[in-house]
Amino acid sequence: MNNFITSASTLAFAMEILFNIIGMIFILRLYNWVYGKANISNKKLYLVAALVIVVVTCFARAILAPFRPAAWPPVTVLFSFPFLICYPKNRQKKILYSIILLTVSWAWLFAYDLITSPLEFKNVWVVTSAFHCGFWGLLELIRKIDKGEKYNIPYSLWFLLTAISMASMITLGITWYYVTQRDNPYLLTIELPMMLVFLFINISLFAFFDRFSTLMHTEQEKIMLEQQLQLQNKHYEELEAVRDQIRTNQHNMKNYLQTASQLAAGQDCNEELIEFLRTASGEINKVEQVVSTGNPCLDSILNIKISEFLRENIKVDTKIQIPPNLKLSFEQAVSILGNLMDNAMDACQNLKYEERWVRIRISYTKHTLFIRLENSAKEIKSWKNGLPVSTKKETDFHGLGLKNVRKIVEEVGTMNIESTPNSFLVCIALFDL
Amino acid sequence: MIRVAICDDNLNIANSIENVVMDMDIKGLSCDVFSSGVELIKHLQSDQISYNIYLMDIELPLQNGISTASIIRKNDKNALIIFITDYKDYVYEVFEVLPFRFLQKPVSSDELSHVMMDSIEHIRRAGQIFFFQIGHEKYQLHYHAIIYFEGAARKVIIHTARGTYEIYGKIADIIVRLDKSLFCQTHASYIVNMDYIHSIKKTDVILQDDIPIPISKKHQNEIKGAYLSFIERRCGK
């Protein structure tokens, strides 16, 4: 092996291997952050990656001339790509980030080479170390820029970002070719600022993607919240119409039965028939409202939901004392109480019959409407932004309930959510009603 | 000393309520029973006394519980009026007399003692005393008399319904002396008595009589949280 004639070259090689391993670990650390946890253990992942990069470096050493460095960040980046399969699925982000990462590492290499090669007096050790440290610094910078969002952006936008990165990579390639072909490659001309600009643009692409991703997500969520609100309003309006119809029918039925019993009495019919008709009309009276608060919006929602609770064997305890002229709109009532009661229902359904209960308190004091809804529930362990993370599989509208409640409440009041080992409590104060 | 007036035309109910209240074993608690609002008002006017807690049936002969309560409220801003209601009767003017709580008939002793405990706690809190000195004169104010504190240069102005007091000091030194379940700091130079809050907007707390008190960003979440717990305590569980 003519590569290791001197001890200095052996030492340099050892250092290159070390730098490459560290570089690889920095890359995987970045992946861990931007794509989420790998589905194999970190230890295993780092070990395999280190092995791969050692082999690659040895191979590079064997085919390259001794004075050429064997540790190249773009190569490390390239060989980190196969490990992407260990990370959660997110093709859009992986492709874009891989391309940008490759461009960034290459631009860094190029820029650094253009700066340091013309220097006449230099220490190879210092130059190499600084080069690698700079690369790690860039990786850390990218990690800081990225917020770890995992939402897709529209494909047109994604295509644009990818195209920018691809274009800079191609330009890099052409410039590289042009520079190496001329008589004196290191002229410190236009290429250097150009490389730095490319570096800057490509690092900014990470930030762009991140911002767009967050923006798209909030936008989507907003639309979904709106949709849910509309659906909910419609749902309650329809239910209320049905209940109204039932009430009218009941009322008519009662009148018919009463008339029938009067007629029967007048016609000297048998006592049994008369008695039967009386009981029947009495029965109808029993089907009444469960609660009556004097506020039509609240009444309809509470009655619809409380009858559902009772059907599910949930013990319901209500205490409601409110003035009738509350400035609470149907939309507010629906989105706050409807959602809270839906959540309570979901939580109770996961429990045994004898453990199911809901306690509803609505009071009014000092121009403030206070809603307190407590229900039996298992303790909630995962939270995000102060709201429980939905445990339901279907993600369409689930988990939006409390978000909608918060959206409505924050405009005119404040709320607090608490979870204990066997209950869930939401307190809401709506001011100036 | 806590004085309780029970007003119910049904003497059986009135007596059973009295028994529950007296059985609660609270020091210095006394109880008087009245069978009508007219009788209660007459007693208040002739003897020049007042009660801390009124347990009032809404349905009373001659003069109902609400109009009786509104006469009481006119003379006594701090009285705690607790209405005893039938499930079916909803008399909505009831909120105008600022009732403390409602008890539903038939009144369970559990619930009654619960509401009584909350009332006594409320009275204890609001009745705490803030001591201060102006020159060589020593002063004292009940917490419920203080609307808000305002810091101005090296002075603090205490705003009450009956005027203001200026003392030397800093808001930061005052807030640590106060009961945090009743007072909340909204701004580097403001502390408000939450009992006087009308509503909370983004940048201001609006007190009764539309007095705006600025909220600083730093205290925004704190004030909302504190007021929510205050309201929760006020409304009961």
pLDDT digits (tens, 9 = 90+) for A134-183: 999 999 999 998 887 777 888 888 999 999 999 999 998 898 888 888 77
Tokens of B42: 């007459």
More confident residue, A253 or A203: A203
CB neighbour burial string for B34-59, b if at least 16 within 10 angstroms, e if fewer? bbbbebbbeebeeeeeebbbbbbbbb
Give which of A317, A322, A431, A432 to mutate to test B binding, by max B Cβ within 10 Å.
A431
User: Alpha helices of A64-189 — where are they, by DSSP H?
Assistant: 73-80, 91-116, 124-145, 155-181
Q: Chain A residues with CB inside 8 Å of B231's CB? A: 365-366, 368, 370, 429
Contact B231 A323 (CB under 8 A): no
Mean pLDDT of B152-172: 92
B156: alpha, beta or left? (left if phi > 0; alpha if psi -120 to 50):
beta
Instruction: Supply the pLDDT for residue A5.
Output: 59
- Give the separation between CA B31 and CA B8, rounded to whole angstroms: 13
* pLDDT tens column, B162-171: 899 999 999 9
The pairing of strands B197-200 and B204-207 is antiparallel
Run of H or E including B33: strand B29-34
Beta-carbon contacts below 8 Å between A and B: 61
Query: Do the Cβ atoms of A432 and B237 come within 8 Å?
Result: no
Stretch (H or E) spanning B102: strand B101-104
Residue B208: predicted pLDDT = 87
d(Cα A9, Cα A67) in Å, to the nearest integer?
A: 9
Tens of pLDDT, residues A317-354: 888 888 877 888 888 888 898 889 988 998 898 889 89
Helix axes A191-266, A91-116, angle to 10 degrees: 160
Q: How far is CA B14 from CA B2, B54, B91, in A?
A: 18, 12, 21
Whole-angstrom distance, CA of residue A234 vs CA of residue B193: 42
ipTM (interface predicted TM): 0.89
How far is CA A315 from its chain centroid? 34
pLDDT score of A396: 44
Count the Cβ atoms, other than its own, within 10 Å of residue A399.
17
Does B232 contact A427 at a Cβ distance shorter than 8 Å?
yes
Look at the alpha carbons of A401, A403, A406, A408 in this order and tell me if their dihedral is positive or negative: negative
Q: Quick one: pLDDT at residue A1?
A: 45
Of A319, A323, A368, the CB nearest to B231: A368
- Please state, rounded to an integer, the average pLDDT across all residues of chain A: 84
Name the minimum distance, in Å, from the CA of A429 to any CA of chain B. Answer: 6
Closest CB to A370: pick one of B195, B199, B231.
B231
Give the pLDDT confidence score for residue B6 in this predicted structure.
94
Which residues in chain B have their CB less than 8 angstroms from residue A323's CB? 92, 94-95
Residues with Cβ < 8 Å from A213, sequence gap 6 or more? A93, A149, A150, A151, A152, A153
pLDDT at A4 over 60: no
Contact A76, A55 (CB under 8 A): no
Contact: B199, A367; criterion CB under 8 Å: yes
Asked if B86 is an interface residue toward chain A (Cβ–Cβ < 8 A), one would say no
For B200, the closest chain A residue by CA position comes to A431
Q: What is the mean pLDDT of residues B103-115?
A: 88
Is this prediction's pTM over 0.80?
A: no
Token readout for A24 is 């690889």
pLDDT-based confidence at A185, cuts 50/70/90?
A: low
